[in-house]
């Protein structure tokens, strides 16, 4: 990806919230790197180039609607069709495992 990373002394700890692919998404950031994105399609403070997506947003796939839309988009880009289960909830599955 067209990104340069500069390592900083201070650690970034954040809980970003936003939208991508038309869906709400949230995650968390925990890193020392500062990304200088120099191209590609913007994506969650990172970028996308073709089939490669990059972001500092850990946990973003826990956002159910975003995860479904993301997987549909990845499949479409690969020439495949993906139909996500509409009732799968990451939060519910996590609670069941605890």
Sole residue written with tokens 């990059």: 54
Tally helices (H) and strands (E) across the chain: 2, 7
Nearest to 14 by CA among 52, 70, 56: 56
Q: What is the mean pLDDT of residues 74-95?
A: 89
Q: How far apart are CA 26 and CA 17, in angstroms?
A: 4
pTM attached to this predicted model = 0.84
Nearest 5°: phi and psi at 57? -80, 90
Q: Which two tokens stand for residue 12?
A: 């970034």
pLDDT in tens, 14-70: 999 999 999 999 999 999 989 999 999 999 989 999 989 999 899 999 999 999 999
């Amino acid at each position: 990806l067209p990104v340069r990373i500069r390592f900083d002394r201070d650690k970034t700890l954040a809980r970003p919230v936003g939208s991508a692919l038309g869906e709400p998404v949230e995650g968390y950031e925990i890193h020392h790197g500062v990304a200088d994105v120099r191209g590609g399609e913007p994506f969650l403070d990172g970028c996308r180039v073709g089939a490669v997506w990059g972001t500092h947003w850990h946990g973003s796939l826990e956002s159910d609607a975003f995860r479904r839309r993301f997987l549909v988009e990845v499949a479409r880009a690969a020439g495949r069709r993906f139909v996500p289960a509409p009732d799968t909830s990451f939060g519910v599955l996590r609670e069941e495992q605890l």
